[in-house]
Copies of this chain bind each other. A is one copy, B any other.
Amino acid sequence: MILERIKSEGIAHLSYFLGSGNSAAVIDPRRDIDIYLELARRHGMQIKFIFETHRNEDYVVGSLELAGPTGATIYHGPVQDFKYGKVLLDGQEFELGKLRLIALRTPGHSDDSMSYAVVDKATGQAPALVFTGDALFVNETGRVDFGGLSNIPRMASDLFESLFNRLLLLGDGVIICPGHGAGSICGSRIAEREESTIGLEKLNNPALKHTDKASFIRYKSAEQHEKPPYFSLMEKYNLEGAPLLKGLPLPPALNPSEFKTALEKGALVIDTNLPAAFGGSHVRGAYNIWLGGLPTFTGWFLPYDKPILLILENDLHLETATRYLIRIGYDNLAGYLKNGVEAWYNAGYPLEKLNLLSVHELKAKIDRSENFTLLDVREPEAWRAGHIAGSKNIYVGHIQQKLAEIPADRPVVVLCSVGRRAGVACSLLLRAGYTQVYNVLGSMTAWRQAEYPVVNQK
């Protein structure tokens, strides 16, 4: 038995390659499928099955892309009206070399959610592993808000049944293989550790402490989640099938004048430099989203109908940036600026700056009672748990919609947890015409380390 866990950073999506003999299955493949083909080749296996745990919302699933070169059959859960693949019956079984996979309906996160238990016939007849999709994570359970507010109680109830009356009954020793790891927007408490079992989750998972259904529903209903606007395109793509890529569409290297031309024709710029570098020099109008933030934050802000240009912290990041963007459906990448922003200013083109503050400078500003807006762009939950007195909280994803709440005629000092999302927010404010914008390097992390005062709000 070969089990390989493939993590897609940024969205912290976990997919799996499971093989035995010369047959393999992939669970929830991503859109850049080269890794699965490479694993199949390395292990001398044919990918015969593609199993989806549900119609994913946060990335484009690669099932159709992978079915092309492999001829594998795609399987989904029922309920959703998929335009491709086959619909599973609860309990349907598949033989894969010496393994048996058993499809289990586990709705709750979504109505079509499936889990897949795996029996290793070489050692016994009880399941050894289970792919849990977005039903059960390490230290977290799936969101139940995608059906809308009114459906939350019903979906939480379904999830309760899927967890307590299906997954947890598989046995404490069963290893779980969830659909996301730490860092996913699909669960803010997912543990860093990626190895877990039913037994460990029963012991540690906060949600599973609520063994009474009503209590569980209350617990899940109290959760707060963000849903970025790009999710709706993902849902459509994953129902109908996204355009096929047939290879990674790496954008071309542009020299400054080619880049400038593309910019002037209406392309949007993403600059992946970290805040300090972006502060020192950037191209006017650029969105500042660091590399690891691309798959999470691009979809909050950038439309899908315009070409995208990249300025990279390091040109070697091109492949990673491309993968991150196509995974969330941004296929129209018009080019990247060869040699980065240095090429731009070496060409004599104008450079823009953004003000940077240390937490000590911020403290001094506050102590001097300077007049400015202190904008904290973290999730409301984090803000409530501890923030600087007087700070205003707007989640970074909502900045563009709430500009009216941010006075343009006085300085705006932005912070988040370390300054990266604050950097995103600052670039949005600059694009919106704000002129006195400051990013606080280290933000709340540094502020706390420096032992400056923090207030919280229950």
Show the binding face of A for B, using Cβ within 8 Å.
1, 3, 21-22, 37, 40-41, 44-46, 69, 98, 120, 122-124, 126, 128-129, 138-139, 171-175, 191-204, 246-247, 249-250, 252-255, 273-277, 279-281, 313-316, 318-319, 338-339, 341-342, 345-348, 350-351, 353, 356, 358-360, 418-419, 441-442, 445-451
Q: Are B173 and A1 in contact (CB under 8 A)?
A: no
Known interface pairs A197-B173, A280-B276, A350-B360; A345-B441 also in contact (CB < 8 Å): yes
Closest Cβ of chain B to A99, distance in Å, is 9
* Chain B positions within 8 Å of A195 at CB level: 1, 3, 128-129, 175
Given contacts A281-B356, A350-B358, 4 further A-B contacts (CB under 8 A): A3-B195, A120-B193, A197-B197, A348-B450
* Chain B positions within 8 Å of A419 at CB level: 342, 345
Could you tell me the distance between the alpha carbons of A201 and B128 in the complex, rounded to whole angstroms?
10
Q: Are B319 and A345 in contact (CB under 8 A)?
A: no
Tell me which of A281, A315, A347 has the highest count of chain B C-beta atoms within 10 A of its own C-beta.
Answer: A281
Determine the residue in chain B with the shortest Cβ distance to A348.
B449
Q: What are 28 A-to-B residue pairs whose CB atoms are below 8 Å? A: A3-B195, A22-B338, A41-B250, A44-B338, A45-B253, A69-B249, A120-B191, A126-B204, A128-B195, A171-B203, A172-B172, A175-B195, A175-B200, A197-B199, A246-B247, A274-B277, A276-B276, A276-B277, A276-B281, A276-B342, A279-B280, A342-B419, A342-B442, A345-B441, A345-B446, A348-B442, A348-B449, A351-B441
Known interface pairs A21-B255, A174-B199; A449-B353 also in contact (CB < 8 Å): no
Could you tell me the distance between the alpha carbons of A123 and B120 in the complex, rounded to whole angstroms?
29
Could you tell me the distance between the alpha carbons of A298 and B194 in the complex, rounded to whole angstroms?
39
Determine the residue in chain B with the shortest Cβ distance to A440.
B345
Q: Are A172 and B193 in contact (CB under 8 A)?
A: no
Q: Are B122 and A191 in contact (CB under 8 A)?
A: yes
Q: Are B192 and A446 in contact (CB under 8 A)?
A: no
Q: Are A175 and B175 in contact (CB under 8 A)?
A: yes
Closest Cβ of chain B to A17, distance in Å, is 13
Tell me which of A199, A200, A447 has the highest count of chain B C-beta atoms within 10 A of its own C-beta.
Answer: A200
* Chain B positions within 8 Å of A319 at CB level: 41
Q: Are B277 and A192 in contact (CB under 8 A)?
A: no
* Chain B positions within 8 Å of A359 at CB level: 345, 348
Determine the residue in chain B with the shortest Cβ distance to A279.
B280
Could you tell me the distance between the alpha carbons of A338 and B351 in the complex, rounded to whole angstroms?
30
Could you tell me the distance between the alpha carbons of A203 and B127 in the complex, rounded to whole angstroms?
10
Closest Cβ of chain B to A70, distance in Å, is 8
Closest Cβ of chain B to A283, distance in Å, is 12
Q: Are B204 and A124 in contact (CB under 8 A)?
A: yes
Could you tell me the distance between the alpha carbons of A319 and B41 in the complex, rounded to whole angstroms?
9
Closest Cβ of chain B to A138, distance in Å, is 8
Q: Which of B69, B193, B199 contacts A123 (CB 8 A)?
A: B193
Known interface pairs A175-B197, A200-B128, A446-B345; A353-B353 also in contact (CB < 8 Å): no
Known interface pairs A120-B191, A172-B173, A191-B122; A358-B351 also in contact (CB < 8 Å): yes
Known interface pairs A41-B250, A342-B418, A448-B348; A173-B193 also in contact (CB < 8 Å): no
* Chain B positions within 8 Å of A193 at CB level: 1, 3, 120, 122-123, 128
* Chain B positions within 8 Å of A252 at CB level: 46
Determine the residue in chain B with the shortest Cβ distance to A173.
B199
Tell me which of A3, A37, A124, A339 has the highest count of chain B C-beta atoms within 10 A of its own C-beta.
Answer: A124
Closest Cβ of chain B to A343, distance in Å, is 10
Could you tell me the distance between the alpha carbons of A202 and B123 in the complex, rounded to whole angstroms?
12
Could you tell me the distance between the alpha carbons of A424 and B288 in the complex, rounded to whole angstroms?
27
Tell me which of A69, A197, A198, A253 has the highest count of chain B C-beta atoms within 10 A of its own C-beta.
Answer: A197
Q: Are B276 and A341 in contact (CB under 8 A)?
A: yes
Known interface pairs A274-B277, A346-B445; A173-B200 also in contact (CB < 8 Å): yes
Q: Which of B198, B204, B346 contacts A418 (CB 8 A)?
A: B346
* Chain B positions within 8 Å of A120 at CB level: 191, 193
Determine the residue in chain B with the shortest Cβ distance to A282.
B276
* Chain B positions within 8 Å of A446 at CB level: 345-348
Closest Cβ of chain B to A245, distance in Å, is 11
Could you tell me the distance between the alpha carbons of A419 and B341 in the complex, rounded to whole angstroms?
12
* Chain B positions within 8 Å of A201 at CB level: 173
